[in-house]
Structure 1
Amino acid sequence: MNHFEIIETRVAQIRTTLAQQELDAFIVPHDDEHLGEYIPAHAERLDWLTGFNGSAGLAIILAQQAALFVDGRYTVQARMQTPAHVFNFLHLNEDPHVSWLTEQLEPGARVGFDPRLHSLTWYQHANAQLSERGITLVAVTDNPIDQHWLDRPAPGKHPIMFYSEELAGQSSQAKREQLASDLRKRGLDAVLLTQAEPINWLLNLRGRDVERLPVVLGFGVLYANASMDFFVDTDKLDCIAFSQHVGQDVSVYPTDKLGALLKRIGEDQQKVLADPNTANAWTQLTMEEAGAILVAGQDPTMLPKACKNETELTGMRAAHLRDGVAVSRFLAWLDRLILSGEFDGVDEASLADQLEAFRKEQQHYVEPSFDTISALGPNAAMCHYRHTNGVPRTFGQDAIYLVDSGAQYLDGTTDITRTVKVGEVTEEHRAMFTRVLQGHIALDQARFPRGTAGIQLDVLARMPLWQAGYNYDHGTGHGVGHFLSVHEGPQRIAPKGSLVPLMPGMVLSNEPGYYREDAFGIRCENLEIVIELPRQGELDMLGFERLTYVPFDTRLIDRDLLSPAEFRWINEYHAEVYRRLSPLLEGEDLAWLEQATDLI
């Protein structure tokens, strides 16, 4: 059977199981039990069912039809990977899936869902909406996909990494005491922890359970006395060494014991803090049904994890310096490749591989922090393009190359985008690149009072494009973790979303862009640290310290559009790039850096 025939057979198998369970529909999200952005191979149920392997999506199977919901990033990819004669294609945001369901089903219908793969907030909203139409939402204990996924990968068995206090800057014991003190002040007995990054941060652990995300997967309950129950695959750790690392007040249990503890917490009528947006419905419903008092609130690890301590920031600075060497060597190599004219067989994939090869030479390198976006010409117009989803575009036929990439180092996480000239560029290319760079400069230079959220700064990066009648359809900045997720909350710079104020120690990206469908794409991205500025006037002000030091391609700049202040910013930035990187480069790479950082 070909790929589409396999998908059709799998859908038929699921429909048979649904009929046996007297279900009229079943919802399949792209999530695992932890509801994080990245999931392990054994949790890729949506991919197994539909063939679609993008990072965001949801499918619904009914008796006579099926639908795949994806956002604008994945419209083309979904149609390439998923059979159109089996699935309808709908927009994840513009066609709300629960509303769509209510239009397809009659009163009395039963909709199945796996409560471990949906948040409590989703469950509450979906249940209310379906109930209004007389439709019942049914929690299944045995996911139908798991019943039929016979060649499902086994979960990884990589040993847990004990992340030293020398790298973390604070002991796990101190972190737990800090959070427990807050629980006591709020009159709470415990907090439920379900996402990988907060638990790994809290216990000073790292792991290899998920590609691109250096975490071990598990669940935790932290109590007001600073003790903690940790649920994990116990084959991954030495319990004695673990206790020595985190302290004696952390008890370790196999993951399958979590349900029993949640029921016991409920029976004791404990008052438990849980985030209904990030914790799965099963964990919270299990506690509540047993008698626990749930208090809805944000995971209390999020802000202290986001506000890096000085040790973490020192590591981030060091990691970015090494990363700057690797990316600059790649860009130098790329220019030499163009000059040689000998690029037969070079494509987006080989370019990405070459960039990673330079990173692998750097100290403390572990893996990419996300799949490299290596995009030539029109492919760069898809802001989350992945060359692995089709035939990589060959080098030598385009004017512009966009490469968005990052790395996980033991002491920090990086993320950088550079757009570079690889062929004959037009005046329009230069004008659009310059406007994007102007937006980047405006945000980099921002000064703002304490209490300012990223949503208030987003306009700064868009203004040069807006003034010319253009825009881009993604956020301007996301948070970045410390040897954790390259996408970290709650901080964000975007026109919608987080109202959490930016605070000293937070790391964010600065990445305005512009995309012309079927033509080209441009993005300029550095990472920045939120810092306190010397007080002037009446207000305590914050600003940004740059982490990323790699030249921008001045061959793409339209000098007629720049203000004197923007000229000065570019020249001062490039002077600082040269100062930092020149001692670490030599030969042809150093010569390239000298040219790339010349005054404009």
Structure 2
Amino acid sequence: MNNFETIETRVAQVRAELAMQELDAFIIPHDDEHLGEYIPAYAERLDWVTGFNGSAGLAILLADRAALFVDGRYTVQARMQAPASLFEFLHLIEQPHVQWLAEQLPAGARVGFDPRLHSLTWYRTAQAVLADHGIELVRVTENPIDLHWHDRPAAGKAPVILYSEALAGQSSEAKRELLASDLRKRGLDAVLLTQAEPINWLLNVRGRDIERLPVVLGFAVLYANSTMDFFVDTDKLDCFAFNQHVGQDVSVYPIDKLGDVLQRIGEDQQKVLADPNTANAWTQLIMEDAGAMLVAGLDPTMLPKACKNDIELSGIRAAHLRDGVAMTRFLAWLDRLIASGEFEGVDEGTLAEQVEAFRREQAHYVEPSFDTISALGPNAAMCHYRHTNGTPRLFGQDSLYLVDSGGQYLDGTTDITRTVKVGDVRDEHKAMFTRVLQGHIALDQVRFPHGTAGIQLDVLARLPLWQAGYNYDHGTGHGVGHFLSVHEGPQRIAPKGSMVALQPGMVLSNEPGYYREDGFGIRCENLVVVTELEPVGELPMLGFERLTYVPFDTRLIDRSLLSPAEFRWINEYHAEVYRRLSPLLEGEDLSWLEQATSLI
């Protein structure tokens, strides 16, 4: 049986289950119970029922129709992986799925959903839209996919990593008391925590439950008296060592006890803070139905987690130095490969594996921080390209190569993009690369007052492109965690989105780009940290300290476009790259670095 036949069988099985439950449709998101960006293999329900394995999407099964919603990144991939004989392909943003569903069904229809896989905000909104059309939104107690996914991967059993205060910079007790004191001031009894990164940060633990994201999955409730209930697979814990690590006021429960505890909280009529946008509907509805007062608000861990302390920043700087060594060795290796002319059989996958090989040689390296984007020529025009989704492009036929990669180190998380010359380049390549780099430089150098949000800085990175009539269709900067997610909020630099002010200790990416469909792609990315600047004038000012030190490819620069200040920035940056990395390199790699950082 080929893959499309397998999908057809699975769709039929789920439809039969829906008929038994008297449901006219079922909604299948790409989410697990924690509603985070990354999900474990056992939660890949969307992939199981459609064949589509992208990171964002949603499917709806009706009795005789089905639709797969994806965003612009995955239009081509979805049509390759999901059978068109079964699924209509719709745009996730431009064609809102709940409104689409309301237009397909008659009044009196019943739509099933798994409340563990949708936020409370989604539930309230979807319920209202469907009710306007006389359609009922029905919570299922058992996901119909789970009933038929007989070879479903088991959840991981890797032991919890007790993350030392020497790396975290602050004890779990101190973090819990900080949040609990805020609950007391606000007259709240507890806060519900459902996403992995906040819980891991709060307890000073990490795990290996999800590839690329070093967390242990679980749920937690923190109370105003600083006690905490932690719901986790207890097989992963040495309870004595865990209690010694976090203190005696953390009670550990198996995951299947979560509903009972939430029910009790509701019966006690407690006032519970919960983020309706990030916590699943099931957890909040249990408490609310039992009598709790839900108080909607942002997850209170997000801001203190984002503002790294001095110990965390020290580790992050050290991790970036080692990562700079790995990336520099890779770029030197790549140039030697080109010079040799012996690259038959080398493709995007080979290059990605070589990046990983150099990182594995570095101290404290654990795993990549995301799937490496290793893109040659036209493939680089797809911002989130993955060479594993098809046949990797062979090396040796393109002018440009874009590699966006990162590492999870015990003391920090890295993310870097370099665009490099791998063939004959045109003047257009150089002009566009230079404009992207100019935007990068402008953002790198900005000074801004306290209270400034990333949305106010985004234009700086785009201006050199705008002035020439170009743009790019993604944000300029995302937050980055500390041995946690490579995508962290609430900080962001983008034309729309977060209005949270940038604060000292926040780590962000600086990554403007340009993409020509079916042609080439360019991106220049370093990580930076928000820092206090020496006072000048009347206002205290903030700026960015660079964390990433790896050469940019000066062979791609059109010098006629640069200002004297931009010349100076490039030369000073490369001088600092050489100063930091040269003691850690030798032989051909050191010789390459000397050439790559020479004055322009």
**TM-score with structure 1 setting the length:** 1.00
Hey, what does 2:248 align to over in structure 1? Answer: 248
- Match of 2:310? 310
Q: What residue in structure 1 maps to residue 442 of structure 2?
A: 442
Separation of aligned partners in 2, 1:205 and 1:322: 23
Match for residue 347 of structure 1? 347
Q: Match for residue 523 of structure 2?
A: 523
Residue number in structure 2 paired with 1:582: 582
Cα offsets for 1:117-167 (capped at 9, x unmatched): 000000011111111111110000100000010100000000000000000
SS of equivalent residue, structure 2 residue 115:
coil
Q: Indicate the larger mover: 376-385 or 4-13.
A: 4-13
| CA distance in 2 between partners of 1:248 and 1:567 (Å) | 57
In the TM superposition, residue 308 of structure 1 has moved relative to its aligned partner by 0.2
> How far is 1:538 from its partner?
1.4
CA deviation vs aligned residue, 1:206-229 (integer Å, no higher than 9, x gap): 000000000000000000000000
Q: Which residue does 2:203 correspond to in 1? A: 203
- Residues of 2 paired with 1:62 and 1:177: CA distance? 49
C-alpha distance after superposition, 1:85-121 (max 9, x if no partner): 1101111101100011011111111110000000000
Work out the CA distance in 2 between the residues paired with 1:470 and 1:25: 43
Q: Does 1:359 align with 2:359?
A: yes
Distance 1:249 1:589 in 2: 52
Match of 1:431 in 2: 431
Partner of 1:489: 489
Task: Supply the distance in 1 between the matched residues of 2:448 and 2:58 (Cα, whole angstroms).
Answer: 39
- Could you report, residue by residue, the CA deviation over 1:287-337 in whole angstroms, capped at 9, with x for unpaired residues? 000000000000000000000000000000000000000000000000000
Offset at 1:64?
1.0
1:409 match: 409
Q: List per-residue Cα deviations over 1:53-104 (Å, max 9, x = no partner).
A: 1110000000111011111111111111111111011111011000110111
- State percent identity of aligned pairs: 84
CA deviation profile, 1:327-365 (whole Å, cap 9, x unmatched): 000000000000000001100001000010000000000
Distance in structure 1 (CA, Å) of the matches to 2:537 and 2:127:
52
In the other structure, the counterpart of 2:219 is 219
Give aligned pairs, total.
600
Alignment partner of 1:148: what SS?
Answer: coil
Stretches of 4+ aligned residues off by more than 6 angstroms: none
What does 1:516-595 correspond to in 2, within 5 Å?
516-595=516-595
Equivalent residue, structure 2, for 1:173: 173
- What SS does the corresponding residue of 2:472 show, helix, strand or coil? coil
Deviation at 1:193, TM superposition (A): 0.3
Structure 2 counterpart SS, 1:89: strand
Quote the Cα distance in structure 2 between the aligned partners of 1:193 and 1:302.
11
Residue 388 of structure 1 corresponds to which residue in structure 2?
388
Aligned to 1:48: 48
Partner-residue secondary structure (3-state), 2:146: helix
Amino acid corresponding to residue 382 of structure 1 in structure 2? M
Task: Tell me the distance in 2 between the aligned counterparts of 1:474 and 1:4.
Answer: 33
Number of the residue aligned with 1:508: 508
Aligned residue number for residue 102 of structure 1: 102
> Which amino acid in 2 is paired with 1:376?
L
In the aligned structure 1, how far is the partner of 2:142 from the partner of 2:216? 24
**1:478 match: secondary structure:** strand
SS of 2:116's equivalent in the other structure is coil
Find the aligned partners of 2:328 and 2:552 in 1 and give their Cα distance: 10
After superposition, the CA RMSD in angstroms is 0.4
Aligned equivalent of 1:268: 268
Q: Residue 372 of structure 1 aligns with which residue? A: 372
Aligned to 1:37: 37
Q: Secondary structure at the match of 2:349?
A: helix
Which amino acid in structure 1 is aligned with residue 174 of structure 2? A
SS of corresponding position for 1:187: coil
1:253-309 superposed Cα distances (whole Å, 9 cap, x missing partner)? 000000000010000000000000000000000000000000000000000000000
The separation in 1 between residues aligned to 2:194 and 2:540, in whole angstroms, is 36
Distance 1:214 1:118 in 2: 23
**Structure 1: how far apart are the matches of 2:462 and 2:92?**
25
Distance 1:245 1:10 in 2: 45
* 1-structure distance, mates of 2:345, 2:587: 26
Kindly provide the CA deviation profile for residues 403-443 of structure 1, in whole angstroms up to 9, marking residues without a partner as x: 00000000000000000000000000000000000000000
Structure 1, gaps ≥5 residues long? none
CA distance in 2, matches of 1:49, 1:479: 33
**1:523-566 Cα deviation digits (max 9, x unpaired):** 00000000011111111110000000000000000001111111
Q: Secondary structure at the match of 2:583?
A: helix
- Partners of 1:439 and 1:87 lie apart in 2 by 41
- After TM superposition, the score normalised by the length of structure 2 is 1.00
Equivalent residue number for residue 145 of structure 1: 145
Q: Which amino acid aligns with 1:381?
A: A
Displacement of 1:9: 1.0
CA distance in 2, matches of 1:285, 1:224: 21
**Letter paired with 1:359:** R
Report the secondary structure of 1:146's partner residue.
coil
SS in 2 for 1:151: coil
Q: For residue 419 of structure 2, give the secondary structure of its aligned residue in structure 1.
A: strand
* Distance in 2 separating the partners of 1:415 and 1:444: 16
**What secondary structure is seen at the aligned counterpart in 1 of 2:273?**
strand
Q: Deviations over 1:376-420 (max 9, x none)?
A: 000000000000000000000000000000000000000000000
Q: Which amino acid aligns with 2:158?
A: H
Q: Partner of 1:124 in structure 2?
A: 124
Post-superposition CA distance 1:230-258 (Å, at most 9, x none) = 00000000111110000000000000000
Q: Which runs of 5+ in 2 are unaligned?
A: none
Deviation at 1:171, TM superposition (A): 0.3
